[in-house]
Amino acid sequence: MYIPRAATLAAAASTSVPLNSLTITKTPNGFTTSARGWNSFGIQANAATDPAFVFNQTSVEQQCDVLVSAGLIGLGYSYCSLDSGWSVGGNGDENGRIIADSSLFNMPDLANHLHDEGLQLGVYVVPGGFLADVNKTILDTDITIGSVCSGDNGLDRCNWNYGEDGVQQWHDSVVALFAEWGVDFIKLDFITPGSPDNGVSLPQNESLAVVNYHNAIINSGRRMRLDISWKLARDPSDFSIWENNADSFRTDQDINNSGADSDSFTAWATVQRAIDNYRQYIVLHTSQDETLTIYPDMDNLYVGNSAPEDGVTDDERFTIMNHWLGAGSNLILGNDLTELDDTGKAILTNSAAHSVADFAAQHPMRPRNPGTGEGDAQQLQAWIGGPDNTGNVVVLLANYGPDEGQGGFTTSLSGVQNVTVTWQDLGISGSFNIQEVWHGQNLGVSSQQLTASLDEGQSLLVVMTPEN
């Protein structure tokens, strides 16, 4: 990896924008860090990246066992999450509960295998009851699914009449079954407002599905995470529902190159979009002191395989990781873990970098434009997380390269650029000892600013500690 040059230069002109306190505290289901692990969707949606992968228990166990053998579990990578296709698609059991496709997975056996290694099991669900199950009776009631669920949402499911007797009981029965299997993580997809239609007929508002699943988790007595997606509405009323019921929420659409013939996982243009969508979200929470109770999910991480397979350069792989770390985002890998390259291993096993993730789990970064301290989209950008109660901050400088169409900044500066952020831009003051994260280089002490010479797609991540 290229190591950016950092130095203290003469201060640039800047306006003064207050740096308000922004923290994340315990989530509704009791978590104080974002989720880390692996999810199957990247390989499922991009089959050419791993032609040997079959979405079944054997292949999933082979992938997730690497979380242990590569030492990632020691850095918190514990979730092994199955995406769409693990369950029977057209119907549930005799009570309409979601059940596994037994030709692919034995869920209790899979959970036991993972738990024996210290790993945890995740499953994927979508809203609604099965259309084929409308005449079935919800467990421990005399209520048929069809009497409280109607229409067709395009996912072979009917739409719940939320609030009617029987709806919460169905969710309770499903999550209780998950608890019996040993499920630790639920990914609830196609939630609105927010999710693009994607060829289906979603109701305009499925937010109460989040409430019902949250209640069902509580009622199950088993500790589970609830992750909701995708690109969810950020207005105060909807965000309040997400924040009071879910542990993480998707800030963007999928970032993978979906398509069976695709031999790369993602593209830099899509990553630019994901970073800007996080920016759009977090700037809504920077105008006053605020405490959040939910983590962002910027989608699966594609930083572990070779640059051609990831679809981005090695520098861009580090920059992706820097942003996911600094945002306090879920760190759910989508790569082929059986083919991690040396750069991927360096990115995923760096303990100093994951200390930044621990810091950002309480102090997520927000943008502070060089020269103004504002939060607009810019090609040459600065971010700050903290300060914590000791005054420590994390700072990230980036050159995203020319906007490839979805970055939000529209500029196209080429080649190496000097990115300078002053303490006034960042909203801090005093002298700081500056430590580069990835290689542990001490960049000295500054009381004014930080500068890095960054090529397209490069970034500099530092931890700054106040000098006494």
Q: What CATH number is associated with residue 359?
A: 3.20.20.70
Please tell me the distance from the alpha carbon of residue 193 to that of residue 205, in angstroms, as a whole number: 5
Q: 224 with 312, same domain?
A: yes
Q: Which of 364, 391, 415 is the last residue of a domain?
A: 364
The angle at the Cα of 230, spanning 270 to 316, to the nearest 5 degrees, equals 25
**If pLDDT is split at 50, 70 and 90, which confidence band does 201 have?**
confident
pLDDT value at 432 more than 60: yes
Give the residue from 450, 456, 292 showing the smallest Cα distance to 365.
Answer: 292
Residues 6 or more apart in contact with residue 455 via CB below 8 angstroms: 2, 315, 399, 415, 416, 417
Domain end point (choices 364, 379, 412): 364
Contacts of 69 (CB under 8 A, 6+ apart): none
99-138 pLDDT, tens digit each: 999 999 999 999 999 999 999 999 999 999 999 999 999 9
pLDDT at 437 over 90: yes
The pLDDT of 257-263, averaged and rounded, is 79
Task: Give the other-Cβ count within 10 Å of 13's Cβ.
Answer: 9
**241 and 117 housed in the same domain:** yes
Domain end point (choices 348, 364, 380): 364
Q: For 27-63, what is each residue's pLDDT tens digit?
A: 999 999 999 999 999 999 998 999 999 999 999 999 9
The confidence score (pLDDT) of residue 158 equals 97
Task: Tell me the pLDDT band of 8, cut-offs 50, 70 and 90.
Answer: very low
Complete DSSP assignment for 194-207: TS--TTS---S--H
Domain containing residue 33: 28-364
Gyration radius (Cα) of the chain, Å: 23
Of 169-178, 200-209, 280-289, 394-403, where does mean pLDDT reach its minimum?
200-209
Residue tagged 């072979």 (tokens): 156
Do 238 and 328 lie in a common domain? Answer: yes
Residue 4: predicted pLDDT: 52
Say if residue 243 is in the same domain as residue 342: yes
If asked whether residues 374 and 354 sit together in one domain, one would say no
Domain count, the chain: 2
Residue 15 has a pLDDT of: 55
The model's confidence at residue 1, banded by pLDDT at 50, 70 and 90, is very low
Please check whether residues 54 and 150 belong to one and the same domain: yes
- Whether 322 and 457 map to the same domain: the answer is no
Same domain as 254, residue 154: yes
Does residue 380 sit in the same domain as residue 360?
no
Structure-token pair, residue 148: 């409280």
Q: Does one domain contain both 283 and 320?
A: yes
Helix (H, G, I), strand (E, B) or coil at 127: coil
Annotated catalytic sites, by residue?
189, 254
List the structure tokens of 248. Answer: 């993480």
Q: Which two tokens stand for residue 289?
A: 């002191």
User: Average pLDDT over the chain, rounded to whole?
Assistant: 95
CATH number at residue 14: 2.60.40.1180
Q: What is the pTM of this model?
A: 0.95
Residue 343 and residue 392 in one domain? no
Residues in Cβ contact with 214 at an 8 Å cutoff, skipping those fewer than 6 apart: 28, 29, 226, 245, 246
Q: Which helix (H) or strand (E) holds 290?
A: strand 290-292
Domain co-membership, 344 together with 428: no
